[in-house]
Copies of this chain bind each other. A is one copy, B any other.
Amino acid sequence: MGDGVTSAEFEARLKAAADATETMLDGLLHRAPLPGETARPPRFLEAVRYSSLGGGKRLRPFLLIETARLFGIEGDGVARAAAAVEMIHCYSLVHDDLPALDNDDLRRGRPTTHRAYDEATAILVGDALLTYAFDVTSDPATDPDPAVRIELVQALARAAGLGGMIGGQVLDLEAETASEPHKAEFVIQLQAMKTGALLSYSVNAGAILGRADGPARAALAKYGQALGAAFQVADDILDVEADEAALGKRAGKDADRNKATLVAALGLEGARERRDRLAAAAIAALDLAPNREAAEILKEAARFVAIRKS
C-alpha cells in the first residue's frame, strides 16, 4: 500500500473485517453458554442469530480490527473484541426498533426482530446480546492480559451507557416531543453520545489491544471522535437524499417527527460542509499515528463514511 488506498482495496479490507466478524459471531453464538439440550431454547437462539448475523457494513468491527493492525495485533482475540462491539450495536438496533421506541418494521431490508418474532423476544434478544458482549470481552481468549481486558470492558460500558449510547438515545426520544427546532449544539452533543461513543470505542479498543502509547492514543481518540461525528451527519444527509429502496428504511421519516438532525439545524449545505470538515479532521489526526503508511486504510475509512450511499 503506497501513500493512499484505492477504493477497491478499501472495500476488500472492509469485507474482510465483516467476514471475520461474521465468522466469529457465528461461532460465539453456537458456543453461547447454554445448558443441556432439555433446557435449550432453540427459537430464541435463532432470534439472537437473526438479529446479529448476515447484515450491516460492520463498520465498528472494521475500525477496531484496522486500528489494532496499526500496532501489529491481529487474529481471534481482536475478532472477539470486534464481535462484542457489534453485539452492542445490534442490541441497540433491536431495542431502538421496538414499538415503544422508533417502531420500525424494517431493518437492513428485513423485518425487525420484534416483527420477525415478537416483542418479548426482541427485548430479551437485546438484553442477551448486551450481556454476552461483556462475557466475550472479558474472556481470556480476547487478550491474555487482564488489565487490557478490564480496560476494554470499562470503555465499552461507558460508550454504551448513560454517558454514551443510551444517554444519546434518551436525548433523542426527549427531542422528539420538543415543539421548537433543535439547536446545532444540542444535536452535536446528542450524536456524539448516540453513535459517536461506540464508533470512538471501536478505535480506542484497537489502540488498547495494541498497547498504544499516550500520543498514539490521543491521535486515535481524535480520529475516532471526528469520524463518529462525520458518520452521523452523513446519516442525516442520507436520510434526506436517499430514496426508500436504497436505504432499506422509510426515508424522510426523521423530518416527520421533529427528530434532532443536523440537516434540520444547519440546512443541507451546512450539514455537508460539516461532514467534509469532520472527515478532513479525522484524516489529519492520523498524521500523528505511529505507522503512517498503515494508517492509510483508516484515512480511507473517513472518506468512505463521508461519501457512503447507505
Contact = CB atoms under 8 A, between A and B. Distances in A.
Interface string A41-61: 101110010000000000000
B170 A124 contact: yes
Contacts of A173: 120, 124
A38 B185 contact: yes
Contacts of A119: 100
A161 interface: yes
Given A33-B161, A123-B101, A128-B162, A44 B170 contact: yes
A2 interface: no
A48 to B, nearest CB: 8
A157 B134 contact: yes
A262 interface: no
A132 B156 CA distance: 10
A160 interface: yes
A105 B48 CA distance: 28
A128 B153 CA distance: 15
Contact of A171 (B39, B162, B190): B39
B150 A35 contact: no
Nearest to A145: B146
Given A100-B118, A100-B123, A138-B157, A41 B131 contact: no
Q: Is the interface of A mostly helix, strand, loop or mixed?
A: helix
Interface in A230-267: none
Interface string A114-158: 000011100110111011101100110000001101100110111
A48 B33 CA distance: 29
B163 A34 contact: yes
Contact of A128 (B33, B146, B166): B166
A174 B34 CA distance: 16
Nearest to A91: B127
B32 A163 contact: yes
Contact of A131 (B150, B157, B174, B185): B157
Nearest to A183: B38
A120 B149 CA distance: 32
A142 to B, nearest CB: 10
A119 B153 CA distance: 28
A102 to B, nearest CB: 9
Top 8 nearest A-B pairs by Cβ distance?
A33-B163, A100-B119, A135-B157, A138-B154, A134-B157, A146-B147, A131-B161, A100-B120
22 contacts: A33-B161, A33-B163, A34-B162, A34-B167, A35-B193, A38-B189, A39-B193, A41-B167, A41-B174, A44-B174, A98-B123, A100-B119, A100-B123, A127-B127, A130-B131, A132-B157, A132-B162, A134-B154, A138-B150, A138-B153, A138-B154, A146-B146
